[in-house]
Amino acid sequence: MSEDRIITYGGQAVIEGVLMRGQKAYSIAMRAPSGDIVFHTEQLARVYRSSLTKIPFVRGVILLWDALGLGMSALTISANAQTGEEEKLEGASLYLTIGLSLAIGIGLFFLFPAAIGGWAEHLLASSGAGGVQPMPSLQSLASEPGLWIGNLLEGILRLALLVGYIWAIGFMPDVRRLFGYHGAEHKTINAFEAGAELTPESVAKYPLQHARCGTAFMLTLVLLSILVFTALGPLPILWRLATRVLFIPILAGVAVEYIRWTANHLGHPIVRWMIKPNLALQNLTTREPDVKMLEVAIASFQAMRQAEQESPG
């Protein structure tokens, strides 16, 4: 399997449909209320083919930001396909939606656990001093190895929030269907990478998990944050919160490179062992798709491939 085939194709589930993305174009196939499959196909932004996407660590942050915009836009298009409305999420409204979503995500999964970890450190410092004391300085914190427990508690809480959130939303009927389309997307790409015929009967035989899944990225990001933030040691609360935000692009860049590297070395037994947690978490974000879901995923992939071939360059 060539690296080009491995890194070229990806996608995501949308409302009653699947987005498939190549290097030059993307396609969204959706099951309309009438039962027909409808399509939305466009050329990708030039950022996907710019020289910046060849710079390790930098490319991850750039492509991740653009993928967020593409994902938000695709969800709007798929929602409109169900209601018959014509509304396009772009420009200021798109960036406002992305910014708000990121703010909520950062607040819930990064700042909230950091605040709890800082509170735990404060309690440890107070109990060690024999009573309630003012918040210790950076120098005094560094001299108390036991206070590093606060960072570890923060990381464990962040991991629990991620897994708990994914587990909880999986009980919602609409999300369960979304996860079914997620499974169809994975099976289709797995079948293509294996060189199999892209028919529902053939694609259904392939795994629900995929090494490059966004779920794998999220878990890798959280696990990296546990290692890095614990290594930073105890910090005053303002520095603690600031580092949790400022380090996100760095951690995201490293996480993307890790996902790319493992996807390119799946033949090695150690790599297959390394990605087991990522694949295990995907059991929560995928469901076994039905035939109609597989038909949509395959149609999306084929439409994207055709758009790639017709792209001017």
Cross-strand bridge partners of residue 210 = none
What's residue 296's pLDDT?
98
What is the DSSP pairing of strand 25-31 with strand 17-21?
antiparallel
- Cα Rg for the chain, rounded, in angstroms? 22
Residue 258 confidence (pLDDT) above 80:
yes
pLDDT category of residue 132 using cuts at 50, 70 and 90: very low
Q: Are 223 and 160 in contact (CB under 8 A)?
A: no
Q: Answer yes or no: are the C-beta atoms of 90 and 127 closer than 8 Å.
A: no
Token output for 241: 């919160």
The answer to whether 261 and 195 have CB atoms below 8 angstroms apart is no
What does the CA dihedral 213, 219, 221, 223 come to, rounded to 10 degrees? Answer: -150
Higher per-residue pLDDT: 287 or 85: 287
Q: What is the distance between the alpha carbons of residues 11 and 9, in angstroms, rounded to a whole number? A: 7
Q: How far apart are CA 143 and CA 99, in angstroms?
A: 38
- 34-59, pLDDT tens digit by residue? 999 999 999 887 766 677 777 888 87
Position 86 scores a pLDDT of 67
Which residues, in sequence order, are CB contacts of 95 under 8 Å at separation 6+? 69
CA distance 276 to 269: 11
| Whole-number Å distance between alpha carbons of 99 and 12 | 20
Q: Name the DSSP letter for residue 50.
A: S
Task: Give the pLDDT score at 246.
Answer: 94
282 has a pLDDT exceeding 70: yes
Average pLDDT, integer, range 257-278: 93
The closest of 8, 10, 2 to 23, measured between CA atoms, is: 8
Residue 136 pLDDT greater than 70, yes or no: no
What is the pTM (predicted TM-score) of this model?
0.86
Using the predicted structure, report yes or no on whether residue 1 has a pLDDT greater than 70: no
> Where are the chain's structural domains?
3-310
Burial group, residue 195, by CB count within 10 angstroms (0-12, 13-18, 19+): exposed
Residue 248 has pLDDT above 50, yes or no: yes
Q: Is 188 in contact with 205 (CB distance < 8 Å)?
A: no
pLDDT value for 89: 59
Rounded Cα–Cα distance for residues 155 and 114 (Å): 8
Residue 56: CA atoms inside 13 Å, Cβ hemisphere, count? 7
Q: Residue 17 phi/psi, 5° resolution?
A: -170, -175
pLDDT at 7: 45
- The residue among 173, 210, 214 whose CA lies nearest residue 68 is 214
| pLDDT reading at 141 higher than 60 | no
C-alpha span between 117 and 233 (Å, rounded): 11
pLDDT, tens digit, 9 for 90 and up, residues 19-34:
999 888 999 999 999 9
Residue whose pair of structure tokens reads 């076994």 in the numeric block: 288
Q: Quote the percentage of the chain above a pLDDT of 90.
A: 57
Burial of 275 (C-beta count, 10 Å sphere; 0-12/13-18/19+)? buried
Cα–Cα distances in angstroms (integers) from residue 312 to residues 26, 28, 43, 178, 204, in the given order = 14, 20, 10, 33, 34
Q: Of the given ranges (81-90, 117-126, 140-149, 235-244), which has the lowest mean pLDDT?
A: 140-149
Structure confidence at residue 310 (pLDDT): 84
pLDDT tier for residue 133 given thresholds of 50, 70 and 90: very low
Confidence of residue 255 (pLDDT cuts 50, 70, 90): very high
